[in-house]
Structure 1
C-alpha cells in the first residue's frame, strides 16, 4: 500500500485552506470571510465557502455589527448553501463574541470614561433592531451597583418614565446615574427628545442629590457622549 503523504497547502480543497492557514499562521492571519468559512465548512455548487462568506459580508457592507442583526432565516432564505444549521453557527459565534466582551466589561466596575460606559452596555445594546433605554446606578466612588432597562420601544423611540429611573436610584442609595440608549437608525446625534429627556432626568435627580454623569447613545459606528460633548 502506498504511504499517504501530507498534502501541501496548495493541494488542499479551497474551502479547507482557511483551517490550514490558521494552523500555519495563527488565527489573527485569517480574514473575516475566512473565519466565517470555517464556521460554515462548505459553500455551494458555484461558490467556495470563502467566496460565499465574502458575498454575505459584502451584502452587509463588511460589517460584523450588521451581520449580527440578521436572523437565522435572513441567512438561510437568502443564500444558497446556507441552511438553518450553518446560519445558527454564524449567529452563535457572533453571540459568543458579544458575551466574551460582556465578561471583560463586567470585570471593570468603576466608570472612568465614556468608553467604560460603552463597554459596560455593549452586550445589551449592540445590534438591537429596536430602541432600549438603560440606566447604570453608581455609588460615590463611581462603581457600578446595578444596571436596569427602563424603556423599550420601536426603531425610533423608546418611552421612558422618569419615575422608573429615580425609584430604583433612591432605593439603591445611588450617588450617580448614567443614562444609555441605542439608535438602530445608526444616527449618532441626540434628538430633541433625547436632549429634553436628559434635562428632565437631571433636574429630577438633583432633588435627591443624585448626579447624572453621562448619557451615552449607541450607534453602529461607535457612540455619542453628552458629557464628552459638554452638553450634559
Structure 2
C-alpha cells in the first residue's frame, strides 16, 4: 500500500494548512521542517522524513544546525542539495534573528559576554572570531566578525579590531571565538593573541575586558582565570 502524500492527509494534519488554520506556534519541529523540505521519499512522507532527521540530531535543533550539506545528503534518503540548503538557510536565519539586538546589551560578567558570543558561535562546526565593542558603561556599540577559519583555527587581525574600535569610539573590547572540538581549554596561540591584543589596545586607551572561548553550553573566560 502506497504512502499518503501530505495533500491527501486531513487538512488539520497537513503542515502548511495547519499553519494557516492554527498559526505557526501550533506546529511541531518536524512539521515546520516538513514545510521546508516539501516532500519526502518513496517510503516516507515529508513529516516522517523530518521526524527521522530530527531523531538523528537527537531532537536538538542546535545539533541539526551543525550538519552540513554533505551530512544531510549522505544520511537521509530524499534529501538532496536543494533541500539541504533550504534547511541550513532556515536555521541560519533563526540564528541571526536570535543574535539581532533590539536594544543595546550591557555586559557586566563573563556569562553575559558568553551569551552574546554563543548566539554567534555555538552552532558552528568551523572556527570564527568575533569582537564586541563597548562604551564606558560596557554597553555594546558594535559587533564585528574578525575572522573565519577551519576546524582547528583562525587568524586574528589585531589591527582590524583596533581600527574598528577607534572608528566607533569604543573604550572596551570583548573578543570571543569557538572551539569546534568541544574542548574549551585555550591553546598557546589563544593566550598569545590575547596578551598581544591587550597590550596593543592599552596604547590606545582601550581596555580588553575579556576573551571568551565558546564550546556549546560551556565557555572559558580569560578574565575569570586572571589572565587578563
Measured against the shorter chain, the TM-score band is 0.7 to 0.9
1:22–1:224 Cα change, 3 Å? farther
Contact 1:182 1:218 in 2 (8 A): yes
How far 1:179 moved relative to its partner? 0.9
How far 1:79 moved relative to its partner? 2.0
Say whether residues 1:91 and 2:95 are aligned partners: no
TM-score (norm 1): 0.74
Counterparts of 1:1-232 in structure 2, within 5 Å, are 12=9, 16=13, 30-103=27-100, 105-122=101-118, 124-232=120-228
* Structure 2 match to 1:5: none
In the aligned structure 1, how far is the partner of 2:155 from the partner of 2:80? 38
How far 1:132 moved relative to its partner? 1.9
* Structure 2 match to 1:4: none
Contact 2:130 2:175 in 1 (8 A): yes
In the aligned structure 2, how far is the partner of 1:109 from the partner of 1:72? 34
Contact 1:15 1:41 in 2 (8 A): no
How far 1:70 moved relative to its partner? 3.0
TM-score (norm 2): 0.75
| Higher gyration radius (CA) | 1
Gaps of 5+ in 1: 1-10
CA RMSD of aligned residues (A): 3.4
In the aligned structure 2, how far is the partner of 1:22 from the partner of 1:171? 46
